[in-house]
Structures are given as structure tokens and as C-alpha cells.
A and B are shown apart, each in its own frame.
Chain A
């Protein structure tokens, strides 16, 4: 089993739709979780950190489920500009600053 797994997609959704991605992780001691966005041939950009209580930033909501060891990202009212690959990243246990990355979920928002 991979340390961090994501459904590669692609997810094809119309503008205005709500779409959700999950990311599962294998190390139950992981403590830090992130969602990044990567456009084609560009660098990853931090979208949001994921906190235990869940957090929201505009149209984006991130949640953590420790019992089932996954994080989720919900995008409401999808825009064409949301089309990208969404990467989840999870740290190793302890003070280790190494992040383990999923392969990403591809999203295409269509007019």
C-alpha cells in the first residue's frame, strides 16, 4: 500500500458543480496535512493546510478524518480556473519535516 494515495481522476465537472476529493494515508502518526494545487508544467502551490477541526477558505473546505486516515477537499461552485491537479501531502511522524505526496487528482471544469 502506498503511503499516500489519491484517485487520479480525471474528474470532469461542469461549472458551478461541487466536487470532492479524498486522500488516504497509511501512517497513523502523521500530524500535518496539506492540499496543493499544480497546474500543468508549473510548480505546486499551497492551497490550504488541513486542521483537525476542518477548515474553510472561500469555496474550498478541507477535512481530516483520523479514524479512517484520510483527508478531503471539497470545492463548491467550481470555476473554469479550478482546473488543475490537486496534490495532498502528509508529513512523517514526529518532527520529521519530510512530506510524502500523493500522485494527485486531476480536475477539469467544463463550460
Chain B
């Protein structure tokens, strides 16, 4: 049973380019979460999605960032016109459905470097 799969593991972009990060949840999990972790900082919640729906995007910057979880295929976190401050590790996590079930299983992360 494969775990949470993220790709790419490492991504280098120049300022102004777009970054697309993909996440396939664990089999049977219908909830996907994106977190950002900066060096020496904690995990910061960005967005929570279920299939085809954004449930909570309170942690997403209002501009340049978007997320989706289509009916078919992985969840995608998209960052447009990247800036140096976007350099971070972006972790995706998934959890099974069920009220109150909050145990998260993380992917290995995508490390974005903006030059």
C-alpha cells in the first residue's frame, strides 16, 4: 500500500516562473492537506481539500497560490510568479474520511528553491 506520493521531490525555479507540486494521497484517503515548512519554522497549514472541493484555504496566500484536487488525478499546488520567499519545503498529507479522524500521513515533501 503506497504512502502519500509527492513529486517533484526537488524543484528549482527562477523568479517569475510557475511551480506545480503534485500529491497523490494514500489509497482510500479522501482528504488532502498542504503544508509549508520554512527552515527553523514550524509547519504552516495552507489548504485542506476533498475531491473536487476546497474545504479550508485559510492558510493560503491570497495571491499567486492555488490548489485543486480533481476527480481524477493528484492534488496540485500551484504557485505563480514565484518569488525567493516561496523557497520552502511543501508537504502534502492525507487522512481517511470519518468524523474526528485527524491522523495525517505525510509525503516526503517537495523542496522548492527559487533563484
Please state if A97 and B42 are interface contacts (CB–CB under 8 Å): no
Give chain B residues whose Cβ lies under 8 Å from the Cβ of A31.
100
**Whose C-beta in chain B lies nearest to the C-beta of A8?**
B40
CB distance from B36 to the nearest CB of A (A): 11
A57 near B: Cβ within 8 Å? no
Whether the Cβ atoms of A98 and B103 lie closer than 8 Å is no
In the complex the two chains form, is A98's CB within 8 Å of B42's CB?
A: no
Judged by a CB distance under 8 angstroms, whether B41 is at the interface is: yes
Q: Which residue of A lies closest to B55 (CB)?
A: A97
- For B56, the chain A residues whose CB sits under 8 A away are 96-98
Q: How large is the interface on A (under 10, 10 to 19, 20 to 34, 35 or more residues)?
A: 20 to 34
Q: Of residues 13 to 42 in A, which have CB atoms within 8 Å of B's CB atoms? A: 31-32, 34, 41-42
Q: Which of A34, A42, A95, A101 has the most CB of B within 10 A?
A: A101
Interface string of A88-103 (1 = CB under 8 A from B): 0101000111111111
Encode B83-115 as 1/0 by CB contact (under 8 A) with A.
000000101000100011011111111000000
Besides A43-B107, A87-B42, A98-B59, 5 other A-B contacts (C-beta < 8 A): A31-B100, A45-B106, A46-B103, A101-B42, A104-B42
26 A-B contacts (beta carbon < 8 Å): A32-B100, A32-B102, A34-B103, A42-B108, A43-B91, A43-B107, A43-B108, A44-B43, A45-B106, A46-B104, A49-B103, A87-B42, A87-B43, A89-B104, A95-B99, A96-B56, A97-B31, A97-B56, A98-B45, A98-B48, A98-B56, A98-B58, A98-B59, A99-B102, A102-B42, A104-B42
